[in-house]
Structure 1
Amino acid sequence: MSTYGFAAMLAPRSVAIVGAGERDGSVGRAVMDSLRAGGFAGAIRPVNRKYEKIDGEPCFANLAALPETPDLVLIATPPETVPAIVDAAGACGAAAAVVLSAHLGRGEAEPIGAARRAARRHGLRLIGPDSIGLAVPGKNLNATLLAHPPRAGDLALVTQSGTVASAIAAWAHRREVGFSAILTTGRSADVDAADTLDHFAADIHTRAILLSLHRVDDARKFLSAARAAARVKPVVVLRTGRHEAQAEEPQTHTGALARPDAVYAAAFRRAGLLAVDTLDEMFSAAETLRRQRPFPGRRLMIVANGRGIGALAADRLADQGGTAAEASPETLEAIASVRHGTSTNPIDLGVDAEAQEYATALGPLLACRGNDALLCVHVPTARAGARQTAEAVAGAVAEARRGGDRKKPVFAVSVGEDAEAAAVYAKAGIPLFATDSDAVDGFLHVVRYREAQENLMRTPASLPQEFKPDLETAKRLVRQALAAGQSWLDPLAVKALLGAYAIPMQPCLLAPDGDAAAEAAWPMIARGEPVALKLVSPDIVHKSDVGGVRLGLTSEADVREAAARMIARVRKLRPEARITGFAVQAMVPRGNRRELIVGLAEDPTFGPVVVFGTGGTAVEVIDDRALGLPPLDLRLAADQILRTRVSRRLEAYRDVPAADLDAIALVLVKLAQLAADLPEIRELDINPLLADADGVLGLDGRIRVAPEPPRLRAQSEMTRSKPPLSPLPCGEEAGGGGGAGSSAAVPSEPPPNPSPQGGGETPLRPTDSRGQRPTWHPRFAIRPYPVEWEREMSLKGRAIRVRPVRPEDEGLFAAFFAEIDPEDVRLRFFSPIRHFNHAFLARLTQLDYARAIAFVALDADENSERMLGAVRLHADANHESGEFAILVRSDIKGVGLGYALMRMMLDWAKAEGILRVEGSVLAENRAMLAVCKRVGFRSILDHSDINTLKMQIDI
């Protein structure tokens, strides 16, 4: 349901409190007092059969007895009574209910399950249980258990934990920080974090979202909503319980490295969220985002009245990976009269500095192009109080801005609480912090948020087109292992499977015993190559733990002796373990090669995870790793590599050339593809993976397999089938295009289940440039590029290729708009547009395929791709309706491309269960109106604009 019912829930005309009472300290009494104290203008209806009146106001026996239908029902009754009350709330027509009660259990057989089912029967939105309520200060709604009524502002606070919400609200009360809304979801029987992100992303009263959560239940839904929200406004996320133990003990190094906290961090990063670890960091982020918008650059200049306090700020900046600015000689000369010592950052004004000396220093520093932001740290002294210094700083900033300088951000620290100084900084719009650490963290929050936005807008490189995995071989190896009852592939199968994905591995030979191992090693030894001997056992994953690896063996006798010692040691340490033989490999000269680890792990929430880090036997102790969620492209893989400490060793140093980063990144992308193709693979690691300037080579690999769960298998097969494409009549014309209009209104009734696809479609065989099957799988938290929607078609003898838009298509769109008729552009965008910048084109080409699609038509007869047109559809948050837009080149009118694209877009909407498609078209765009009419759209007059028609079709 997503945002269905949110309008009434957050702006109720009347509120009913089931469980209201007169006893002080009771939940029902407390929330009723909060509503009254907040000045709620609507009706407040207590419901409790034990009372006739409460505080002189009538009390009703049940919800059916109320004089009007409540929009919002607050429930504060024993757990076992909650499902019946939820059912009654839905039956009387309420829009939402908040369950303040706790201890409703977890499973469907518990009260929480019965309450959820009752809510769904009636289309009632349910918050909680274990919620402490919701508040919308701008509407005087405070239906919470908070100690202080929240102020109105532009921060939305969403938490699963009531205590975290209370702590943030208490901090906000002290700092006079306001909220557009506060919503505590508790155990999220219905409304969850994803729903709230979808709502507040579109809320014009919300400038930033503060999110605190303990866990995510639906990873795909959450990430889709989070990525959409992060594109339009800052989202700060704090996860509680980050270091809880893993539910299942991992069996590989990559599994151990992919701890839940690291996976969540990778997911937040992928979604563009600003993750913080503590409440203090969240407070810093909230203070910064309240006063400071994102800005270009990351170089910070620190000014302080003392070397020590300034150095603390500089140390914090360095520790957190920030960048210290450098002052130009001209700037240093301009501030020489107030600068003490030789430090150029921080700038020391001296402990005896007066307030005016801050203003003297700030003028040249604000004008200097060598820094991107300033931090003014002040410790009050007898010569300069907090208020006087605040006035001097605010005055210097205002003067610089009046002089035409760009609005360079300024952050302030005033050690010790001073209300007058805080008021001065607040009026000037300068974020104020109590400590230098908080201020540096606040600065870095804005920097990292902006960088996250840039990452979301960055155009990735394409995969090499020649990469084509041998999928049949890989699947055969997995099937054979499962049929034999194996959980782990043997070394030869591991090498063959990775070879099917062109991941190079050092050859190895298998031998059943020590004598056979010595015989297999002899040709290598004869060539002067020392050999490595490794134990092979399906019961021993970490061979080094039992002495199962011997290196540098140079004779047959050494091999026999090593094999005998291994067997003896295993019989002592792991007598139950089965020994199937030994693997023999020629030793690889290390030279300049760096030891890495790469692999796959399975997270219970987010599914497959790609792991990269420092390799070797002590990988878990070193704990230098970065995680990524598939699907990956080369840019995402490169970013993952750069987040590790070992990435610095991959660069050139002394006489050692740089390692081939592209080759390493390509391995990560191939592993992500492997995870999509082979859902039976549960864990995989290659350790070590050696990397140097010539490429990569794996020395040892392990792969654990398990049957695909039946439910996931059925879903996976459904997604792999070809979506339909309706038959196309010839001769349809389309020129110009319709631009998407405003979002459709939320329906007054819950949507019915989408009907199954009807007949009449002509399914076409999937077209995949790399010969692969569709890559989406239910385990993936992020839907990959939908290769199953690629098409080859012939329209009036013209060969045309249609495929979903990819992020790397930005250049294709830029060339298309450069040669398109300006009149067609005006018809599509409703106004002339002369320049399409990177941010605009990125929004057209970087899609969340879970809620939007765009198809691009290409001329299949040309060697180079030439864009002929495109259609796009963006679903609303409820996934009930979608808005379309289409643009086709004028010089190919008459071949039916516009009609073909529209039908393909509608087929996608049907496959996704979208119920209605609509869009706005200029009344003068007769060609587009004709296409819409033939497709089956109906036209509705847009009363807000007589020059526009709204086109609508039910799927």
Structure 2
Amino acid sequence: MSTYRLEQLLRPRSIAVVGGSPREKSLGRAVLKNIRTAGFTGAISLVNSRYPAIDGTISVKAFADLSSPPDLVVICVPPVSVPSVVAEAGARGAAAAIIITAGLGHGSSSLADACERSARAAGLRLLGPNCLGVLVPGVKLNASFASSMPLAGDLAVVSQSGAIAAGMVEWASQRTVGFSAIVSIGDQLDVDFGDLLEFFAFDRATRAVLLYVESVKDARKFMSAARAAARTKPVVVVKSGRHAAAARAAATHTGAMAGSDAVYDAAFRRAGLLRVLDLGELFDAAETLGRVKTVAGKRLAILTNGGGTGVLAIDRLLDFGGIAAELSEDIRARLDRILPATWSKSNPVDIIGDADAVRYEKALELLASDSANDAVLVINVPTALASATDTASAVTDFSEKRREKDGVPKPLFSVWLGSGGSVSEIFDRAKIPHYPTETDAVRGFMHLVRHSEAATAMMEAPPSLPENFAPDMSTARRVVMAAISQTRDWLDPLEVVELFDAYAIPIARTAFAATPEEAEKVCASLLTNGQKVAVKVVSRDIVHKSDVGGVRLNLSSPMEVRRATEEMFATVKAARPQARIIGVSLHPMIVRPAARELIAGIADDDTFGPVVLFGHGGTAVEAIDDKALALPPLDLKLAYELINQTRVSRLLRAYRNVPPVNINEIALVLVKLAQLVADVPEIRELDINPLLADDKGVLALDARVAVAKVVPKFAGHGHPRLAIRPYPKEWERHVRIGESWRLLIRPVRPEDEHLVHAFFERVSPEDLRLRFFAPVKEFSHVFIARLTQLDYARAIAFVAIDEANHEMVGGVRLHADANYYAGEYAILLRSDVKGRGLGWKLMNLIIEYAQAEGLKRIKGQILRENSAMLRMCRELGFNIVDDPDDPGSCVAVLSLSAEKKHS
């Protein structure tokens, strides 16, 4: 993420427009006119070597002729001229540029590449090329060729498509929904989704973000920024190309099932984004989020004068996962007293077709006061018996009264079927979201519900893994690297068993035989107690064995095994003459009548890297196409969510005389697979099909593993292939202070909430005040969750645990800025262990970590009265300076270099 100079891009003090002509349809002229018409208050310059002036604005011939460097340059020249303009703007000291021009090409030696290299050298931020531009109504900026300027508001729009951005502008011109910014990013040469999500996440003028996505350029950057933004405000995304074919044919069932859009869907879900399917839904989201800040739950009450529309609304509510609110007994009785005897007596509250404005307002007043619901949807069907306009006015009048009385009244949503512009204007003025149909309204309500649920889920502490799970990473790496050293793409069956054993993934025993005679001998140990065996061809050139006659099942004697092997060799050789047949693998036929056949594995996505797949397995796996995906790493909570997204999850419960599956064992397998691909990035694809599951546990019957040398998918530090940086186990340290104090210092985990809470209980109020700069009375779940649930791509926190009693005795944390240039640290020790050297250990560790991450400096804010901390920082080489914003504190700054070492 980099918010470097984005302030100048979105809130410039001066603008220079390059290009254009006096022609009416000239792009540069249109942009210049928009900037002036919007009322931009800063300096506006025109750089144009062909025309001395356009529409009264005097031009200069070159950037060198400008009196001062502009904050923002808007480039509207032909493609071939863009690189030289970018170079000149950078040389003049401009901060940011919008390249509206299209047709710059892609890749090495293109015009776009030349622009990128010049801009990077000069520190010039680029938006575009091939974009609509930027509109920021709050600062009267319209640096675009959009046809109109929207109202100021608190919704930010980031669109990869200029047409979609223009559509949002036009839609907004018909409503009173306002925007904090509308940004068209085009080809994302520099500024991309990640940068803008980072900016808007901490922008006080923005309450929610709407995204139109065609593709993500840097998945790790996107995921980190999206997760940070979604923790603070709703982020709604619509992505095109949902049904685009996968980019390549996959070699495993897992790979074939993990389509590109399914991976995007998994990524959006993991980041806490609200995905919508089309522009209609995106506009609904804008309508809702632009007017309603939050909703407490998903219980919706519906007030209507038409029973059929109310029932349809309830149907859609249940379809979308909402809850039809019950009426409390008190409210039901009070409604009975004011409504006709024929009213519905339940939700939806049908107040009959002759309902007038007074009846609507009285019923709405009662429903809005009912604690049994979280929001109210008011529906009006036009009749000749009452005025739809009067009824709308009554609803808005009631809303205004409640707002004056309660400050933040219960959310209201409205549908006036077939209403005209006058009704829309009434609801617009009252800032009540209104929709053309009941489906649109219910969907809008559920957008708020889903955001609330996502925000809550991101604050939950997942259950920890069993303490006895200790994977043998060295064995796993040895097995995989041996295959790669032999230039093999696939592990053989015995290697797969060894790999799975290293991570305690249950798999059926396997034997290997090179010849039919050897197969006859080897199978004897498997044919015990009446058991039968399966024989499968082993060839590094054949992935799907059954397709070429390479699988024989239910063999009951050594002679059968020998004959089957001989016949198999002949059949496979005839089907695939070029295939190198190494031998056969022998497997016991597993009989588990109540077992469900599942599939689990790892697929490799071109954008997001490894993804975990789970679903319905068996021979018809691709035809059934019942699967769900998740980005690693996983914890048990995420694994359970992955399982529950599939249809087959319903078959895992008990039914008839079939006992329920041990779902915990399935979840464990998924977590172990995610850990395996994190530990061994050389694993490219992994396929377990079927994975048998019943009440006794799970067992992999057949598995394939593809391997390859690591080609880093993401630049910078951290895992070379995972879009979400996993728990940094390599930073765990066992240390000793003095002769007997032994500590484990490790990165914090989400499940450490109880550990951190107990730690705070033993820190004195004075030490807490010195750390948090104010008295601290209690530590809520949300507060501690923010400390323990970190995105390791942008922050780290180390906890020091006494190995004798497993109690936390201290902690230190570091949060890098968006540009990953500097980081801010904080440290706190348990009050009863101060003075023993732990603070020194933790500070040295955070300095070491910052150096390893490539940060250039770290700093910390310290109260002037905290003499012990100031003394330690001086001894560590920090420079202590005054805090310009707080006379009661100072700032400790340490410049870092690769050579700097503290002991």
Which category describes the TM-score, using the shorter chain as reference length?
A: over 0.9
SS of the equivalent of 1:231 reads: helix
- Counterpart selection for 2:773 from 815, 827, 830: 830
1:47-95: per-residue Cα shift (whole Å, max 9, x none)?
2221122223322222222233221111111212111110100111111
2:458 aligned counterpart, secondary structure: helix
Q: 1:486 to 1:880 in 2, by over 3 A?
A: closer
Q: Higher mean Cα deviation, 797-806 or 827-836? A: 797-806
For residues 326 and 520 of structure 1, the distance between their equivalents in structure 2, rounded to whole angstroms, comes to 67
For residue 813 of structure 1, report the CA deviation from its aligned partner.
Answer: 1.2
Query: Aligned letter for 2:731?
Result: W
Q: Partner of 2:77 in structure 1?
A: 77
Any residues of structure 2 matched to 1:502-521 within 5 Å, and which?
502-512=504-514, 517=519
1:216-267 per-position Cα deviation (integer Å, ceiling 9, x unaligned): 1211111111111111111112222233222221111111121111111111
Q: Note if 1:46 corresponds to 2:40.
A: no
Is the 1:129–1:189 Cα contact (8 Å) retained in structure 2? Answer: yes
Aligned to 1:729: none
Q: Does the 8 A contact of 1:87 with 1:119 survive in 2?
A: yes
Instruction: Indicate conservation of the 8 Å contact 2:762/2:831, yes or no.
Output: no
Q: 1:782 to 1:91 in 2, by over 3 A?
A: same
Q: Relative to structure 2, which stretch is displaced further, 410-419 or 281-290?
A: 410-419
Alignment check: 8 A CA contact 1:916 1:954 kept:
yes
Q: What is the match of residue 155 of structure 1?
A: 155
Instruction: Give, in angstroms, the shift of residue 536 of structure 1.
Output: 3.4
Rate the CA distance shift 1:792–1:476 in 2: closer, same or farther, 3 A.
closer
1:129-187 CA distances to partner (integer Å, 9 max, x unpaired)? 11111111111110111121122111111111111111222212212221111111111
Give 3-state SS (helix, strand or coil) of 1:599's partner. Answer: strand
Give the equivalent residue in structure 2 for 1:759.
none
- The TM-score normalised by the length of structure 1 is 0.89
Instruction: For residue 702 of structure 1, give the secondary structure of its aligned residue in structure 2.
Output: strand
Distance 2:552 2:351 in 1: 63
Partner of 2:31: 31
2:353 matched residue in structure 1: 351
Q: How far did 1:42 drift?
A: 2.5
What is the 5 A alignment of 1:769-784? Answer: 776-784=718-726
One-letter amino acid of the structure 1 residue matched with residue 77 of structure 2 = T
- How far residue 514 of structure 1 moved from its aligned partner, in angstroms, is 5.8
Q: Alpha carbons of 1:885 and 1:384: their partners in 2 closer, same or farther (altered >3 Å)?
A: farther
SS at match of 2:599: strand
Deviation at 1:786, TM superposition (A): 1.4
Alpha carbons 1:367, 1:405 under 8 Å: kept: no
Summarize the Cα distance change of 1:712–1:38 in structure 2 as closer, same or farther, 3 Å threshold.
closer
Work out whether 1:931 is the aligned partner of 2:872: yes
Amino acid of the structure 2 residue aligned with 1:815: A
Q: Give the 5 Å matches for 1:242-257.
A: 242-257=242-257
1:689 alignment partner in structure 2: 691
1:844 pairs, out of 779, 787, 793, with: 787
Compared with structure 1, are the counterparts of its residues 401 and 651 closer, same or farther at alpha carbon in structure 2 (3 Å cutoff)? farther
Identify the residue that residue 820 of structure 1 maps to in structure 2: 763
Where does residue 728 of structure 1 map in the other structure? none
Q: Which amino acid aligns with 2:289?
A: L
* 1:179 aligns to 2:182 (yes or no): no
Partner in structure 1 of residue 375 of structure 2? 373
Distance (whole Å) between structure 2 residues aligned to residue 810 and residue 391 of structure 1: 50
Work out the CA distance in 2 between the residues paired with 1:520 and 1:326: 67
Contact 1:339/1:347 (8 A) holds in 2: no
Match of 1:362 among 337, 356, 364: 364
CA contact (8 A) 1:546 1:569 kept: yes
CA distance in 2, matches of 1:364, 1:506: 64
**Could you say which residue in structure 2 is the equivalent of 1:755?**
none
Shift of residue 677, structure 1, vs aligned partner: 1.9
Whole-angstrom distance in 1 between the partners of 2:750 and 2:705: 32
The CA distance in 2 between the partners of 1:256 and 1:658, in whole Å, is 29
Unaligned stretches of 5+ residues in structure 1? 720-775
Partner AA of 2:603 in structure 1: A
Does 2:537 align with 1:539? no
Instruction: Quickly say closer, same or farther: Cα 1:486–1:82, change in 2 above 3 A.
Output: same
Match 1:868 to one of 809, 812, 819: 809
**Counterpart in the other structure of 1:659:** 661
Residues 1:810 and 2:753 aligned together = yes
Q: Select which of 835, 838, 841 maps to 1:897.
A: 838
Contact 1:298-1:447 at 8 Å conserved across structures: yes
Distance (Å, rounded) in 2 between the aligned partners of 1:514 and 1:443:
66
**Residue 953 of structure 1 pairs with residue 894 of structure 2:** yes
Instruction: Report whether the alignment pairs 1:679 with 2:681.
Output: yes
Equivalent in the alignment of 1:726: none
Amino acid at match of 1:121: A
Contact conserved, 2:332 with 2:345, CA < 8 A, in 1? no
Q: Does 1:791 align with 2:733?
A: yes
Q: Greater shift after overlay, 276-285 or 556-565?
A: 556-565
By how many angstroms is 1:452 displaced?
Answer: 1.1
Write the mapping of 1:584-599 to structure 2, written as runs, cut at 5 A. 584-599=586-601
Paired position in structure 1 for 2:164 = 164
Matched, 1:309 2:309: yes
Q: CA RMSD in A?
A: 2.6
Which of 445, 469, 473 in structure 2 is aligned with 1:467? 469
2:434 maps to which of 417, 429, 432: 432
**Following the alignment from structure 1 to structure 2, what is the Cα–Cα distance between the partners of residues 930 and 672?**
44
In 1, the alpha carbon distance for the partners of 2:249 and 2:811 equals: 48
8 Å contact 1:34–1:145 — kept in the other structure?
yes
What residue in structure 2 maps to residue 747 of structure 1? none
Q: How far did residue 586 of structure 1 move?
A: 2.7
Question: Does residue 1:477 correspond to 2:479, yes or no?
Answer: yes
Q: Deviations along 1:390-410, whole A, 9 cap, x unmatched?
A: 233345556667787984322
CA deviations over 1:544-587 (Å, ceiling 9, x no partner): 44454444455667656765775666456545444444433332
Cα 1:558–1:384, aligned 2, differ >3 Å: closer, same or farther? Answer: farther
Matched, 1:100 2:41: no
What is the SS of the residue equivalent to 1:91? helix
Q: Is the 8 A contact 2:284 2:440 kept in 1?
A: yes
Are 2:303 and 2:351, in contact at CA under 8 Å, matched by a contact in 1? yes
Assess, with a 3 A threshold, how the Cα gap between structure 1 residues 520 and 793 changes in structure 2: closer, same or farther. closer
**How far apart are 1:41 and its partner, in Å?**
2.2
Separation in 1, partners of 2:797, 2:313: 47
Number of matched pairs: 893
Moved more, 372-381 or 506-515: 506-515
Give the superposition deviation at 1:693: 1.8
Q: Of residues 632, 636, 639 in structure 2, which corresponds to 1:637? A: 639
Aligned residue type for 1:178: G
**Are 1:906 and 2:832 an aligned pair?**
no
* Structure 2: distance between partners of 1:511 and 1:693: 33
**Deviation (angstroms), 1:470:** 2.3
Supply the distance in 2 between the matched residues of 1:481 and 1:792 (Cα, whole angstroms): 34
Q: Which residue identity lines up with residue 490 of structure 2 in the other structure?
A: W
Matches within 5 A, 1:265-280: 265-280=265-280
Q: Alpha-carbon deviation of 1:846?
A: 0.9
- Given the superposition, is the C-alpha separation of residues 488 and 385 from structure 1 closer, same or farther in structure 2, using an over 3 Å criterion? farther
Q: Deviations over 1:410-466 (max 9, x none)?
A: 222122343333344344443211111111111111111111111211101222221
AA partner of residue 779 (structure 1): R
Measured at CA, do residues 890 and 484 of structure 1 come closer, stay the same or move farther in structure 2, by a change above 3 Å? Answer: closer
Alpha-carbon separation, structure 1, partners of 2:480 and 2:84 = 50
TM-score between both structures, scaled by the size of structure 2: 0.94
Report the identity percentage: 52
Residues 698-777 of structure 1: matches in 2 within 5 Å?
A: 698-709=700-711, 776-777=718-719
Equivalent residues of 1:626, 1:640 under 8 A apart: yes
* Cα-to-partner distance string for 1:266-310 (whole Å, 9 max, x where unaligned): 111111111222111111111111122233322223333223222
SS in 2 for 1:901: helix
- How far has the Cα of 1:779 moved from its partner? 0.7
> Residue in 2 aligned with 1:606?
608
- Cross-structure match for 1:319: 319
Shift of 1:370: 3.3
CA contact (8 A) 1:367 1:400 kept: no
- For the 8 Å contact 2:176–2:429, the answer to whether it is kept is no
C-alpha contact (below 8 Å) 1:386/1:418 kept by paired residues? no
Residue matched to 1:495? 497
